Structure 1
Amino acid sequence: MSEIVIDAVGHRFGDRTVLRAIDLRITERRVGFIGANGSGKSTLARMLNGLLKPTTGTVTVDGLDVARKGAQVRRKVGFVFTDPDTQIVMPTVAEDLAFSLRRSGLSKTEIADRVQRVLDRFGLAAHTDHPAHLLSGGQKQLLAIGSALIREPEVIVADEPTTLLDLRNARRVSQALNALDQQVIVVTHQLGLLDGFDRVVVLDNGSVVFDGPPAAAIEAYRHLIG
C-alpha cells in the first residue's frame, strides 16, 4: 500500500477556510471520508493527487509532495469525479479510454490491449465504438473508473462516485470499486458503500472529528448530524 501523509494541512478559498490543521497518515487498503456538505472532505480528497494544493501544510504520497511533484503523484493516484461527464472527453468509449494513455509512451498495440482489458472488465465491450455521452449514468461512471484505472495507478480516489446514480447502478459501481486491487479512498454520503472498509474519517467544518473503524465512525457521524 502507498503511504499518504497529510501534515498540518489547511486550505482556503478566498476568505473562506475549508480545511483546518488536518493530520492523517493513510496506509490502509480501503479508507472512507464522510461528513456533511461543506465539511471539507472533497477538498481534502482532491489534494491526494494534486488537483488542489494545500494553502498550508503538506500532502505527500510515498514521499512525493503533491504541491511540487503533481505529475508524478498523478501517475500513482487516479481520481474519479462525482459527475463522470466531467471526465469523458472523447467521442467514443474506446477513444476515451485510450486518451488517458496519450502520454504513456506505450505502443499502439499495448494501448489497444489495455483498452480491451478495461472494456471487458467493466462490461463495456459491446459499447466500444458507441458515443460515450449516450451511455447510461452507471456505464459512464464505470467508464470514468476505467479511465483512471487504465494508467495502472497504485491508488484510486473516488469523490462521491455513486451520488448521481440509482440504486442498481450505485451497486454496480460499488462492486467495481470493491473488486479493485488498488488502494481505494472514497468520499461518500452513501454509508453502505463503506461496508468492509478498514477505516473511516469523519470531517466537520474542515476538521477531523473522528477517525476509526467504519461502524464507530458512522455512529459518530449520525450523532454529529443529529
Structure 2
Amino acid sequence: MSKPLTLIELDSVDLEIDGKQLLRGVSLQSDAQRIAVMGRNGSGKTTLARVMAGLQVPNGGAVRIAGVDVARDRRGALGAVGILFQNPDHQIIFPTVGEELAFGLKQMGLGKAEVADRVSQTLEGFGKASWLDAAIHQLSQGQKQLVCLMAILAMGPKVIILDEPFAGLDIPTSMHLERALSKLETALVHITHDPQTILSYDHAIWIEAGKVEMQGSAGEVASAFEMAMRKLGERDDFADLSG
C-alpha cells in the first residue's frame, strides 16, 4: 500500500535574490486544514507564500502541495494551490467577472463547455450568478476580493494561501469575506502579522528574517510571537523596527 500524500511539504526551502537571502531552510509538513504563517513586515512571510504557490522558484529545497512540485509542474500547481493576494487589483487581469473566473480554468487545459459550466456553478454557489458579465472596475474592493476568491475556488485547489486578505478592507467587508472563508472545506494557509486572527487555527509557523523561529499549536506560537513583538515595541531604537 502506497503512503498517503502529505498535503503541504516544504523541505529546507532557501531563496536568494540579488544576493539577499530571503528564506533560509524553511521546512513544514502538515495535513492541517487551517495553518497560520506569522511574521512582521519584511520577515519573509509573503515571499514564502509566493514560493508555496509556485510563483517564485526557490534556490534550494522543494515545495510539494498535495504531491505536486509547484515549481516544476505549473499546470498541476493550478489544481493544487491558489493564492489570494492582499490587493485584488494586483491579481485581476480581465474586465469582466466571467472572464476572470474562466482564465485559470483555461490555463488548466479545460474545454470551453467545462469552463463555462464551472464558472456558472461557482457564481451560483455564492449567489452571484448575475455577476457573470459585470464590469470589475465598478465593483468595490471587497467585491473584487470575492471575485479573486471565486476564481481560485473554480479551479478546485487543495490549498488556498491567504496573503493578509483583510488588509485595507473595512470591518463589515472583512466580516463578510471572513464568513465566506470560514465555510470552505479547502485547507487554508493564512499569512498574517496579527496573532489574534488565527487563535482557532490548527497549526502556526513564525517566520523571522526568513527562518522558522517557532512552529506548533496556533495558540502557543501566537502567544510567543505577540510577546516578542511587544518587547520589540517597548524599545526606543527604531532601527529594530525596520523589519
Alignment TM-score, normalising by the size of structure 2:
0.85
2:209 to 196, 205, 208: 205
2:145 to 113, 118, 141: 141
- Helix, strand or coil for the counterpart of 2:15? strand
Say if 1:127 and 1:191 are closer, same or farther in 2 by CA, change over 3 A: farther
Is 1:28 aligned to 2:32, yes or no? yes
Is 1:162 aligned to 2:166, yes or no? yes
Say if 1:150 and 1:220 are closer, same or farther in 2 by CA, change over 3 A: same
Percent of aligned pairs with the same residue? 36
Unaligned runs of 5+ in 2: 231-243
Counterpart-to-counterpart distance in 2, 1:37 and 1:77: 24
The letter for the 2-side match of 1:214 is A
Superimposed CA distance per residue, residues 90-126 of structure 1 (whole angstroms, 9 cap, x where no aligned partner):
1111221122222444444432332222223334333
The letter for the 2-side match of 1:27 is D
Counterpart-to-counterpart distance in 2, 1:81 and 1:223: 27
Say if 1:40 and 1:66 are closer, same or farther in 2 by CA, change over 3 A: same
The letter for the 1-side match of 2:65 is V
* Alignment coverage as a number of residue pairs: 226
CA contact (8 A) 1:174 1:193 kept: no
- Helix, strand or coil for the counterpart of 1:129? coil
Q: CA deviation at 1:190?
A: 4.1
Q: CA deviation at 1:49?
A: 2.3
CA contact (8 A) 2:39 2:193 kept: yes
CA contact (8 A) 1:30 1:199 kept: yes
Match of 1:193 in 2: 197
The letter for the 2-side match of 1:74 is L
Counterpart-to-counterpart distance in 2, 1:191 and 1:124: 32
The letter for the 2-side match of 1:177 is L
Counterpart-to-counterpart distance in 2, 1:195 and 1:176: 18
- Helix, strand or coil for the counterpart of 2:177? helix
Larger mean CA deviation between 94-103 and 175-184 belongs to: 94-103
1:81 to 65, 70, 85: 85
1:178 to 182, 195, 198: 182
Match of 2:42 in 1: 38
2:95 to 69, 91, 97: 91
Superimposed CA distance per residue, residues 158-184 of structure 1 (whole angstroms, 9 cap, x where no aligned partner):
211111211111112222222111111
Counterpart-to-counterpart distance in 2, 1:57 and 1:115: 36
Moved beyond 4 Å, runs of 4+: none
Counterpart-to-counterpart distance in 2, 1:205 and 1:214: 20
Match of 1:68 in 2: 72
Q: CA deviation at 1:71?
A: 2.8
Q: CA deviation at 1:223?
A: 1.3
Superimposed CA distance per residue, residues 42-61 of structure 1 (whole angstroms, 9 cap, x where no aligned partner):
11111112111112222222
CA contact (8 A) 1:2 1:155 kept: no
- Helix, strand or coil for the counterpart of 1:196? coil
Larger mean CA deviation between 120-129 and 132-141 belongs to: 120-129
1:101 to 100, 105, 110: 105
Larger mean CA deviation between 135-144 and 88-97 belongs to: 88-97
Unaligned runs of 5+ in 1: none
CA contact (8 A) 2:11 2:61 kept: yes
| Pair member with larger Rg | 2
CA contact (8 A) 2:66 2:80 kept: no
